[in-house]
Structure 1
Amino acid sequence: MAFVTAQKRIATPADMPAWRASKAYKDYMHFIMDLNKAVMGKTNSGSVTESEAVTLVCAMLETLRKWIDDIPPIQQPQRFGNQAFRTYHARLVERSAELLCGILPESSRDATVELQPYLLDSFGNSTRIDYGTGHEANFIMFLLCLWKLGVFQKTDATALVTSVFKKYLELCRHLQLTYKMEPAGSHGVWSLDDFQFVPFIWGSAQLIEHPNYDTKCYLDEKIVERSKDDFLWMGCIDFIGKVKSGPFAEHSNQLWSISDVPSWGKVNSGLVKMYEAEVLQKFPVAQHFLFGSLLSFDAAA
């Protein structure tokens, strides 16, 4: 396969139908749903055998976490958007090829040129010092490219959520808090969350038909505290509780209203539809997506 530098193809809203019909869109949604199925009823701490590839990607994320200690926030007049993040991101740009060589087998090293842009866009924008669902999507695209290259196998599907994605979330939260990152294109109180979306999809899948946790359980702070490490959903609610003040129903109205849905299965399928409509099919998010040989803008069969 000839690898190319992934580039933008969605220049105007008129390009959106082509994006929805593309191989990349279909592959991305299949990947989301494959991993969704793989974590149904599974906890983050459940016994999953981690492959070498999963271990290597987790180690890379741990390296990125340690960089935060090396690059503390600077003293500056403005409260948000600490400019030390630009230094952090510059190091990521400088060392991204080296990081990728650490996880790619010899036979796939040529793919570095195509994978680099997805990795660089996974942790926030260094100009605006913000982070949002588009950056989250880039990390999932990065994982999908590794999946398509055969770096990950189907047996890795559960661990990609419970180990890799969980570690990615923890890293992003650390970045957001340390560098006071702004939410990218946030809808405020009416969106699901300022920064993330996908952990609510996979997190609700984990809770489907759970004998002890109904759809109202996360309104109980004690339950959240007890189960935040076991379920992505609870981890998200715990983080929101730490960074926002006031009644949950006011600062997280969408999430609060989900507690009225009768089952986690209905929550899960509803969130998948909402993700497509509110994230993937919104031009302000999709215009930044990148396409190459692995994630092709060509029309799907």
Structure 2
Amino acid sequence: VLSTLSNLVDTIPPTENSKSRFGNPAFRDFYDKVQKDFDQLFQGIIPTDALKEVSVYFTESFGNRRRIDYGTGHEANFMAWLLCLEKIGVLTIKDDQAVVLRIFVSYISLMRKLQFEYWLEPAGSHGVWGLDDYHFLPFLFGASQLFDHKYIKPKSIHDHEVVDEFSKDYMYLACIKFINTVKTTASLRWHSPMLDDISACRVWSKVNQGMIKMYKAEVLGKLPIMQHFMFGSLIHFEGGIEQATTMHDDCGHVHNKTAVVGDGNKEDVFALGQEYPDCCGIPVPSAIAAAGLKNRDKMTARPIPFD
């Protein structure tokens, strides 16, 4: 299916969009086509009664149609789609390794293609204080893949020869290579200080544990991300806290203010909506688009002058 969608991108070229350096409207045509053809793509794979619910996670995993952006929340939708496939019996625990090393890797490859082709805006990017403008999970899975590697260590990301040689086999190194190709500053210290700090860890197990904690806090635990997430019969919401005072914004969403639960201890205070007003996206220039803007007539990706 992902291969089919990759071919679909080739049939929907980006439109002339000289007034903006990111967010090409042709992405909406791709999105609509995926949404329309979902039942046909998964006929005989997913039970008919589950198609409607599962389709939401799949289509949302490619980005937001209106804003033409993509971020870790959309990436989380792809994992939710895979979880749904496991819940309905399409995938089993025996498939886990292939789910990451074949399906998820193919998904990342498709997303990179969409990012380059349609100049998707980073959704809620933390800029240099994030792992990547678009993705998180390749770093988490990549650290797991290198968990007990005898020779490649976290500090190896600074060795360009190691990165070039083994990026084809290891997700973490592939991410580092990709970042280095779109940002021109010579050192990770300047354009990716968080990755540079993480490279100081001695073992991958510590990196992996930190990535899991960070994913829970920075993705699954963020209201601006999870308020857009769908909960249904396959993935249902449990628990939660009582809503505090709310206010409406021009975007039409409700942004919660601080809520206190439990006995009011510091760890029980949740600053809901602390990311406000970023929940609906802010104009974050696409690094890929900025590179492409200077090279519209060239097929190869060029680094941007990050500094």
How do 1:287-298 residues align onto structure 2 when only pairs under 5 Å count?
Answer: 287-298=227-238
Which of 74, 78, 98 is residue 15 of structure 2 equivalent to? Answer: 74
Equivalent in the alignment of 1:93: 35
Counterpart of 1:244 in structure 2: which amino acid? K
Deviation track 1:240-277 (CA, whole Å, cap 9, x = no partner) reads 11222213211111111111112100000011001111
Equivalent in the alignment of 1:103: 45
Counterpart of 1:248 in structure 2: which amino acid? L
Counterpart of 2:201 in structure 1: which amino acid? V
Counterpart of 1:152 in structure 2: which amino acid? L
User: Aligned pair 1:257/2:171, yes or no?
Assistant: no
Q: Secondary structure at the match of 1:125?
A: coil
What is the CA-CA distance between 1:74 and the residue it aligns to?
1.2
Task: Select the structure with the greater relative contact order (CA < 8 A; seq sep ≥ 6).
Answer: 1
How do 1:212-251 residues align onto structure 2 when only pairs under 5 Å count?
Answer: 212-246=151-185, 247-251=187-191
What is the CA-CA distance between 1:88 and the residue it aligns to?
0.9
Q: Secondary structure at the match of 1:291?
A: coil
Counterpart of 1:123 in structure 2: which amino acid? F
Counterpart of 2:207 in structure 1: which amino acid? V
Deviation track 1:46-99 (CA, whole Å, cap 9, x = no partner) reads xxxxxxxxxxxxxx0001100110001111121111111111111111111212
User: How many residues end up aligned between the 2 structures?
Assistant: 238
Equivalent in the alignment of 1:200: 139
Counterpart of 1:280 in structure 2: which amino acid? L
2:122 and 2:64 mapped to 1: Cα distance?
Answer: 10
What is the CA-CA distance between 1:100 and the residue it aligns to?
2.3
What is the CA-CA distance between 1:299 and the residue it aligns to?
4.3
What is the CA-CA distance between 1:102 and the residue it aligns to?
4.9
1:73 and 1:244 mapped to 2: Cα distance?
Answer: 23
Counterpart of 2:217 in structure 1: which amino acid? A
1:102 and 1:218 mapped to 2: Cα distance?
Answer: 43
User: Aligned pair 1:209/2:151, yes or no?
Assistant: no
Q: Secondary structure at the match of 2:112?
A: helix
Q: Secondary structure at the match of 2:125?
A: coil
User: What's the TM-score, normalizing by structure 1?
Assistant: 0.77
Counterpart of 1:202 in structure 2: which amino acid? F
Which of 265, 269, 272 is residue 209 of structure 2 equivalent to? Answer: 269
Q: Structure 2: 5+ residue runs without aligned partners?
A: 241-307
2:128 and 2:237 mapped to 1: Cα distance?
Answer: 33
1:282 and 1:241 mapped to 2: Cα distance?
Answer: 28
Deviation track 1:87-132 (CA, whole Å, cap 9, x = no partner) reads 111111111121222532xxx2210011011011001111111100
1:293 and 1:282 mapped to 2: Cα distance?
Answer: 22
Bigger CA radius of gyration? 2
1:272 and 1:194 mapped to 2: Cα distance?
Answer: 18
Would you tell me which structure has more helix in proportion to its own residues?
A: 1
1:100 and 1:296 mapped to 2: Cα distance?
Answer: 23
Q: Secondary structure at the match of 1:174?
A: helix
Identity of aligned residues (%): 46
Runs of 4+ in structure 1 off by over 6 angstroms are none
Deviation track 1:2-28 (CA, whole Å, cap 9, x = no partner) reads xxxxxxxxxxxxxxxxxxxxxxxxxxx
